[in-house]
Chains A and B, each alone.
Chain A
Amino acid sequence: MKNTVKILALVIIVISAISCQDSKKPNYQYFPNMYASSGYETYGEYKVFNGEQEAMTPVEGTVSRGWMPYDYKDSPEGYALAKDTLKNPLPYTEENLAEGKELYTIYCGICHGAKGKGKGELVKREKILGIPSYDSREVTEGSIYHVMYYGINTMGSYAAQTNEEERWKIVQYVEKLKADLEGREVRLDKEVAIVVEPVEETHEPVVDNHQEDAHH
């Protein structure tokens, strides 16, 4: 009888010891210096940085590799200019359309809806309201890109989540949705010889001049 009491006590102690393992704290490691990087890790917390965060915005005046400036201003004038002059540098291919659809579904469909009617999941659940249907608005490839880049009214900018090429693919898909809603034919370029045109070269210098003209 005494033994069973002792065994019971032991079991209780073991169970309570196991249950004391705190899930809010990380576990022990064998050789922490093998686990932790001696360099600064992505999203690490280090005293040397401002706010102790490794994640920071780029130093002023610098850009990341491959990033190209977008010269249209975030203003009604810039919007109007982009609407009239900015063109999609990518060819309108089935492939780009498919990739555009994938990206649209991630970033836009949640509000604008799978068909672009402004009936996405967040609208259905009345979290975000007032999303227009694409066929009710005058939009061009340039204005679609401009709005994605800067955002408009309550819509935020998507420049942080997508890169230039991805945004242009989304533009193609949005144009397709708009054409579908309006019952027009969807634009598709004829297959040209496979020349992958670098995005950067196509529009900046020309546009820059326009911009200067518009402001003076």
Chain B
Amino acid sequence: MEQVKNRNSVSRILLVGIAFLLTFSMPIMAQDAPAGDVAKGKELFNSLCAACHKRYKKSTGPALFGVADRHDTEWLYSWIKNSKAMIDAGDADAIAIYEEYKKTPMNAFPQLNNADIDNIIAYVMEPKSTGGPTGATGDFPPQLVDGTVVSNELILGALAFIFLLLIVILVLVNNTLRSIAKANGVELPDDLTNKKPLWKAFVDNQFLVIVSSILLLLVSAYFAYGYLMQVGVDQGYQPVQPIHFSHRIHAGDNKIDCKYCHSSARVSKTSGIPSLNVCMNCHKSISEVADATATPDHTKEFYDGEIAKLYDAVGWDAEDLSYTGETKPVKWVRIHNLPDFAYFNHSQHVSVAGIKCQQCHGPIEEMEVVYQHAPLTMGWCVNCHRETNVKMEGNEYYEKIHKELSKKYGVDKLTAAQMGGLECGKCHY
């Protein structure tokens, strides 16, 4: 049985491999126009053309797939090297394209020779891959993500099973011991009916009653205190947002700096919810996510739908690549919210103290949906002020006071608390 299975999978891999090869060889064979080097073409395309052109979709310029069928090669050579000259010379095709694309002139690329252009054409003439075979050959590693999920469930299941087994074994052992005892004529003290009931024995023992009631009081006080202290604390609060914005993808995978979007955290009290034009800095050209972005929890279609929500709110016509002017507000749900009687300033912490966002907001770059990481209670604030030294590098503003206060306290480095970070009026006024 084992052997047959193995052979099966090998032949399947072989089949997939052949299919994979074929999908890549087809476009090259199908091409009768200039046979260029696809790999070199891709490199040139990505570095020079992709700012304005996509292969299968209109962008600032037209989609380039099929361009060799629309124009002859000589025309393309001269257009790419200097399109403006062609428009000025009155070439009808050239003028038509210039007019169609809102008179945005195409950069001239005199540095490209005909062979380079052939390579680019070879690359852009590749038909869109359907994703099937590339997915199977390991472009996209879903096993890894799946693996962790499955193993977690497996471990839990195994644990539950082991516990069940233990219980069964205990019962069985108990039964056998009892039967052995019976067989040997040992009397078991299991007959409790003629004894005092347990609760009566308990009530009669005054010492036990006092101790247990003190214990009960203490325990309930502990829980009551715990309950009251968590009122007004929103640690773990994770509301559903109107657009499913994944910090995991943006800040984690793509390593976009927090301050790229939350730019006012550098200079203002509030960290700033980015206005939608900031999203559009990138999403003007990213209208769908890559296949590899999808996870077992969220499909590619789901993420693409969320980008569509953004387009809808900001009024971006993805077909025409222009703003319609019809905008809708996105009603983000605020997560971190200090009470009105506490003052907090982001720029003081981000720019002056140089504290990382993650120190208060937790592992944001791993959060698919953001939750409140810290309790944001006063005790939590004060703790950090007591433990953190004031950042003095490049900060002449604090130099004099730091010198004098450190002399007074007899330390080298002052904590934020020693600098006055515990004075009531600093945060409550």
Contacts and interface: CB of A to CB of B under 8 A. Distances in A.
Contact of A28 (B60, B231, B290): B231
B410 to A, nearest CB: 33
A57 B395 CA distance: 34
Contacts of A129: 45-47, 50-51
Interface in A36-63: 36-38, 41-43, 45, 51-53, 55
Contact of B257 (A24, A38, A110, A162): A110
Contacts of B47: 118, 129-132
Interface in B321-361: 328-329, 331-332, 334, 339-341
Interface stretch (A4-12, A149-157, A195-203, A204-212): A149-157
A153 B277 contact: no
A24 B105 contact: no
**A-side interface size class:** 35 or more
A155 B280 CA distance: 9
B380 interface: no
Given A130-B48, A154-B51, A27 B234 contact: yes
Contacts, number: 132
B254 interface: yes
Contacts of B46: 123, 126, 129-130
A26 interface: yes
A22 B277 CA distance: 33
B371 interface: yes
A26 B331 contact: no
Given A52-B329, A106-B259, A122 B282 contact: yes
B123 to A, nearest CB: 12
B59 interface: yes
A36 B339 CA distance: 6
Contact of A106 (B239, B257, B269, B278): B257
Nearest to B334: A43
Interface in B44-85: 45-53, 59-60
A51 B331 CA distance: 9
B340 A156 contact: no
Contacts of B253: 125
A24 B329 contact: no
Given A53-B329, A130-B49, A130-B51, A154 B260 contact: no
B191 to A, nearest CB: 14
B31 interface: no
B349 to A, nearest CB: 16
19 contacts: A25-B239, A29-B339, A30-B231, A38-B340, A43-B270, A43-B332, A53-B329, A76-B105, A105-B257, A106-B257, A121-B254, A127-B286, A129-B47, A130-B47, A130-B52, A151-B281, A154-B59, A157-B277, A158-B281
